[in-house]
Structure 1
Amino acid sequence: MSSAVLALSRAESKLLLRNKTVATCATLLPMLMGLFLAYSVPENAAARVWSTTLSLQLLTVFGFTVCFTVTAALTSRREDLYLKRLRSGELAESAILTGLLAPVVVLGVVQAVAVLVIAAVLGAPVVANPLLLAVAMLLGIALCVVAGTATSGRTSTAEQAQITTLPWFLVLLGGAVWVSMSAEITPFMLAVPGGAFADLVHRSTTGTNLLGALPALAVLLAWIAVLTILSRTWFRWDPRT
């Protein structure tokens, strides 16, 4: 990462912390939700209960910390002409977006690890396959980054991001709950990004039928590809009129 991109990332970090709404949704709310979900698990709960809890904890972090923050930040920078000024400089468009989004990604990773530690301290079983869980987390973060980038093109103000990102947040949590409450996972459940993510988390925590994780991995990669195309189509460098 070049010095210019690092400087842009540092500046973006300061801007994010100065916005109280964004800072609260990106830091306080996900951690409070993570604590609430972990404390709600009864003692000696089955592994499936903990896998559901971990799925909801991580998706809450990815929904608030990553997707909402990406949407609000890019929308705000666009509307105050910050993106336009950056684009007129020497940095390439990809470098600009990398610098702006890197702090959000780092924050998402840190908070995801934090909720996993909280769950472990409160009694969650040892993850049977940490590599699969790490892959699921990376895909979940990438999914929410491109979702937030795409949604920013359909968001007029940073405040409106609370509304425009809500459907995606409901899809993530709804899919996870749907999979967790079902005795048998169907292709329709896996087609929902939250359902595919929950399936990966469950397999990583229990270590059962790892080859069966391939459909969920394929679904998440397909969603990332589709949302990347939408982000390229919808993303705006100039303010919405």
Structure 2
Amino acid sequence: MTTTTTPRDTSAAARPASGSLRRVTALARAEARLLVRNRTALFNALLLPLVMVAFFSFVGGAGNGDPVTAATSVLASLVSLCVLFVVYYNLTTAYVARREDRVLQRLLTGECRRPEILAAAAVPALLVTVAQVLVGYGAVCLLVEPPGLVNPVLATVGVLGGTLLFTVLAAATSGFSRTVESTQLTTLPVVVAVLPFAGVFGPPGATSGVLWDVARFTPLRPVVELVWLGVAGVDADGRTLGLAETFAAAALPVGVLAAWTVLGVLAARRWMRWEPRR
């Protein structure tokens, strides 16, 4: 007696992934259109980081005459401020606005899952951040000196990891925000807590002490350290490293970034609201 077996449909496993990508892409396009229409959000995304970078470069001396240090300092400041304002502040506002308009509620009744909704809202912010960094890199190459890009992998990890971390922090913060206007207050504690210790006021090693050692464990500091390691090969103590050494030096900032991301995910699951708070 012989039996016949039907060939297994190998495409079945790929269908959920392709469906998820399709939904995220569609939602991301809608979020991008809303961002373009919102002049305040567009200003925060495009101009505010550049203004802040100019300010911090002036305060920190932007390398004090060393072109490579100056260029890397500008890029590190740009990345950290984009993550803080383009991603964190704008996404907190977006999540609150969608929640109060019952958009999140309606999306959950369809095929979209919660991670897909959060990711779709973050896509425009990520694209704006990447575009700002690329424009900033081109600007410092023309106006100052092309940075060496010792380890582009670490710089990329810093940008993407920082975007992921502050996306989940934005989701968590939105749970404490009753209205879009109130996000100016609810996001302020995070901005005030992380920005002074991010290392945007000067190159690594310029400041030392117990306080700055502790500051390495704050959420934004690992992003700046990874950019410095990736672009200039400079560690937190100001030492210039080779390619292999930068991977070893990246262990601490990557670990801190991962730990904060896990905490952010737990906080988002605990405090984010999907229904209006009215």
TM-score range, shorter chain: 0.7 to 0.9
Checking the alignment, whether the CA contact within 8 Å between 1:171 and 1:193 is kept in structure 2 is: no
Mean CA deviation greater in 38-47 or 186-195: 38-47
CA distance in 1, matches of 2:136, 2:193: 21
- Judged with a 3 Å threshold, the aligned counterparts in structure 2 of structure 1 residues 15 and 129 are, in CA distance, closer, same or farther, namely same
Counterpart among 229, 253, 277 of residue 216 in structure 1: 253
CA distance in 1, matches of 2:135, 2:194: 20
Matches within 5 A, 1:78-227: 78-124=99-145, 125-177=147-199, 180=204, 181-183=206-208, 187-207=213-233, 208=241, 209-210=245-246, 211-227=248-264
Structure (1 or 2) with the greater helix fraction: 1
Greater gyration radius = 2
Superimposed CA distance per residue, residues 75-104 of structure 1 (whole angstroms, 9 cap, x where no aligned partner): 000011111111112322232223232222
Structure 1 runs, 4 residues or longer, greater than 6 Å off: none
CA distance in 2, matches of 1:205, 1:90: 41
RMSD over equivalenced CA pairs, Å: 2.5
Q: Which sections of structure 1, spanning at least 5 residues, go unmatched?
A: none
Checking the alignment, whether the CA contact within 8 Å between 2:67 and 2:144 is kept in structure 1 is: no
1:21 and 2:58 aligned: no
- Judged with a 3 Å threshold, the aligned counterparts in structure 2 of structure 1 residues 10 and 217 are, in CA distance, closer, same or farther, namely same
Tell me which amino acid in the other structure corresponds to 2:275: D
Checking the alignment, whether the CA contact within 8 Å between 1:75 and 1:155 is kept in structure 2 is: yes
Tell me which amino acid in the other structure corresponds to 1:198: V
CA distance in 2, matches of 1:164, 1:113: 30
Mean CA deviation greater in 191-200 or 48-57: 48-57
- Judged with a 3 Å threshold, the aligned counterparts in structure 2 of structure 1 residues 5 and 129 are, in CA distance, closer, same or farther, namely closer
TM-score by length of 2: 0.77
CA distance in 2, matches of 1:184, 1:4: 49
Checking the alignment, whether the CA contact within 8 Å between 2:87 and 2:167 is kept in structure 1 is: yes
Equivalent residue pairs, number? 241
Same amino acid, percent of matched pairs: 31
Checking the alignment, whether the CA contact within 8 Å between 2:172 and 2:264 is kept in structure 1 is: yes
